[in-house]
Chains A and B, each alone.
Chain A
């Protein structure tokens, strides 16, 4: 079993996490064309390829922002695994490719590449799920929760919403109960 160590390409992750334009520029310059070509060779259009490339970078950014993320493989290989995963998911979604229930693909991607990419993919699912479930709440609940998560005290939240402190407190517990209940089935994803 290979020992886990930080790859020298970690600086790219740090750069993306810091929204460093120089790093983003280099990433586009060095990797975008090849990724675009690969997607186009696999039933994609130029626009789809550009979107997938950008979404993959967004996913990496979210992961790097969410927790300490250590890259243990070359960035290009890691990026490619994420792109490939996203693209096959999209093909499946668009029904351009029928992936049957028992479709289990074998690939010879190295363990490190797979592990790093998997961390990003799972994190993206988690992030997306949190957003989806929050958006399913009624607007009043959503606003109250968002305000309370911004670091405001419940008194301040109550003042902003022009309601009493007691009401705001009670309402928050009701909204949290709804939210947590809706996340119950996906608890394993949320509480990674």
Chain B
């Protein structure tokens, strides 16, 4: 039976349009777990699209509302307010309470890292935007440990960072970013089994770090000469990430 014939049956069954004979055929083929899986995928994807279509319509209306409010805000904003908002006046309580510590915590390490990688953003520029001492005031001891980890990691002192990362991760097992950093430290240490464990665990969680973890796992396989595992991994990589590079490497 071709895939199209199967899908015709699936679709007719969902519409309750199967003849008695077709019902029997469908029941028979669904005994095969692989076909049952195909059926489930068919149903799920179709449902996703039905939902997607509804949201697309709602999205247009929501966008119109956003545009209207945006215009309204621009109209009601006095020139003084407009000036203030366009300046660096980060004085409102929202910023003090969340944005400064959050941004400092997040952006300083990113800035330092990117600066080191690219030279485009200097750490000074990033730090100037947010008060670094707010970070330790808000987050206390933990911030010191974390800042230390970030410094060591961003300076590529992976082996010095590793014990700190291991301790930190025990207290924050849900922090996947740290887990990924840990895996990279293991990779640097050439402790491939431990690196692989961490990376596989990240991949299994199916979150936004999956593709990066796959890329590092490929490195783990490459360094161990596991060609077959490497090829299988590359073939499973999502098209919108490292797919094209992966395909080029397979072709080599």
Contacts and interface: CB of A to CB of B under 8 A. Distances in A.
Contacts of B110: 88, 105-107
Contacts of A189: 238
Interface string A122-165: 10011101110010000000000110011001100000000000
Name the prevailing secondary structure of the A interface residues.
helix
A121 to B, nearest CB: 6
Given A50-B70, A66-B51, A180 B42 contact: yes
Interface residues of B, number: 92
Contacts of B26: none
Which of A34, A153, A185 neighbours the largest number of chain B CB atoms within 10 Å of its CB? A34
Contacts of B120: 96-98
Interface in B223-246: 236-240, 242-243
B57 to A, nearest CB: 10
B58 A19 contact: yes
B239 A186 contact: yes
Contacts of B113: 103, 105-106
Given A62-B59, A146-B53, A185-B243, A107 B106 contact: yes
Contacts, number: 225
Given A101-B215, A172-B11, A127 B53 contact: no
B33 interface: no
Given A19-B61, A46-B86, A98-B120, A106 B11 contact: no
Contact of B69 (A25, A101, A179): A25
Nearest to A97: B120
Contacts of B121: 42-43, 97
A31 B69 CA distance: 13
Nearest to A176: B7
Interface in B3-19: 3-8, 11-12, 15, 17
A13 interface: no
A188 B237 CA distance: 10
B62 A188 contact: no
Given A77-B102, A104-B180, A121-B208, A65 B58 contact: yes
Contact of B178 (A28, A106, A122): A106
A134 B239 contact: no
A33 B69 CA distance: 14
Contacts of A113: 102
B147 to A, nearest CB: 8
A19 B117 contact: no
Interface in B122-172: 129, 135, 139, 143, 146, 149-150, 153-154, 172
Contact of B53 (A32, A77, A149, A177): A149
Nearest to A184: B41
Sorted nearest first, the 5 A-B pairs with minimum C-beta distance are A108-B105, A107-B106, A173-B7, A33-B85, A173-B8
16 contacts: A19-B62, A34-B95, A42-B107, A58-B59, A61-B59, A76-B98, A99-B114, A101-B215, A106-B110, A108-B139, A109-B102, A111-B172, A153-B15, A169-B12, A180-B41, A187-B41
